[in-house]
Amino acid sequence: MASKSLREWQTDAWAAFDEIEHAHHAVGGTKPGRRFLTQQLNYAYTALLAAHFQGFARSLHTQTVNAVALGAHNATYRLLLQRSLTRRRALERHNAHPNSIAEDFARLGLDIWTLADQERSGNGERRRKLLALITWRNAITHDDIDGKLEKGALEPTTVSLGTCRSWRSALNVLATSLDKVAADQCQTLGLPRPW
Amino acid sequence: MARTRQARHTSLKVGDRVVSNVPGFNWNGVVVEDRGDLGIDGGQIVMIRIGDEDEGERFEIRADDLDRVAA
């Protein structure tokens, strides 16, 4: 069983990523200009990965808050929880930087990255890939790639289709782990497992 | 202008003016985002804003806890 957030990640987000992959194939060939076209597709792929992962993390937080709030003993208390736990979330103001995800889920008593690391080996490295993705996303959308490269802030130093596929694979595993850790926390709080 | 509380809605939309139907809260807000059926029970969740567009408070709430009011 998975949350609606994870199911949407695995359907809607994956479909969007597949469209970029198909566009890559459509721009095939060896003519001059292909490299520029595929580079722009890779940048679009990077931004899309970051955008959909932010959407997933935000929705997972919404669903977890809702599960916690439904455990309140009356409607007034439920509303108080719902309001307090969702106002001024980091994921409303920032993209899915690991620190933003940690900040929002900490409201629910979760040290989410420690638990995610415990949930599956290799998640520490996947979180570093998420950070690399977000750093690249910011450089692309703020038109600051050269500036970031000069500062040595971009790792890897180029984005290829392989890079995007590696990020996508890491995000898939992280999404599954975050989904499980959030559900576990509901049980820890004495609530029914929500998904 | 006086506002008239309307019958329970089936679905709220962005731009709807709403009040809380839960005792203890006296809000006048506006729906700024439809988050869809993200409720654990499949219920609609909306983001509402209370106060100014720039400095007002925004948070998520179950649509069931709100009533639409006439503008």
**B26, B33, B34, B38, best to mutate vs chain A, most A CBs in 10 Å:** B38
B43 phi and psi angles, rounded to 5 deg? -75, 160
Give me chain B's average pLDDT, please.
87
pLDDT at residue B9 in the model = 54
Q: Are B57 and A111 in contact (CB under 8 A)?
A: no
- As a whole number of angstroms, the distance between CA A185 and CA A60 comes to 13
A79 shares contact with chain B (CB less than 8 Å): yes
Cβ contact, residue pair A65, B60, below 8 Å: yes
pLDDT of B6 strictly over 60: no
- Who among A59, A79, A88 is closest to B22 (CB)? A79
Confidence (pTM): 0.93
Minimal C-alpha gap between B71 and chain A (Å):
23
Its ipTM equals 0.86
**Which residues of chain B make contact with A92, given a CB cutoff of 8 A?**
58
pLDDT value of residue A20: 94
User: What's the pLDDT at B2?
Assistant: 46
Residue of B20, B33, B35, B60 to mutate, interface with A, max A Cβ within 10 Å: B60
- Cβ separation A87–B58 shorter than 8 A: yes
Task: Please state, in angstroms and rounded to a whole number, the distance separating the CA atoms of residues B58 and A91.
Answer: 13
Q: What pLDDT, on a 0 to 100 scale, did the predictor assign at position B1?
A: 42
How would you write the pLDDT of chain A (195 residues) with one tens digit per residue? 899 999 999 999 999 999 999 998 888 666 666 667 789 999 999 999 999 999 999 999 999 999 999 999 999 999 999 999 999 999 999 999 999 999 999 999 999 999 999 999 999 999 999 999 999 999 999 999 999 999 999 999 999 999 999 999 999 999 999 999 999 999 999 999 999
Please tell me which residue, B55 or A99, carries the higher pLDDT value.
A99
Report chain A residues whose CB lies below 8 A from the CB of B49.
none
pLDDT, residue B16, reads 96
3-state helix, strand, coil in chain A (%, to 5): 75, 0, 25
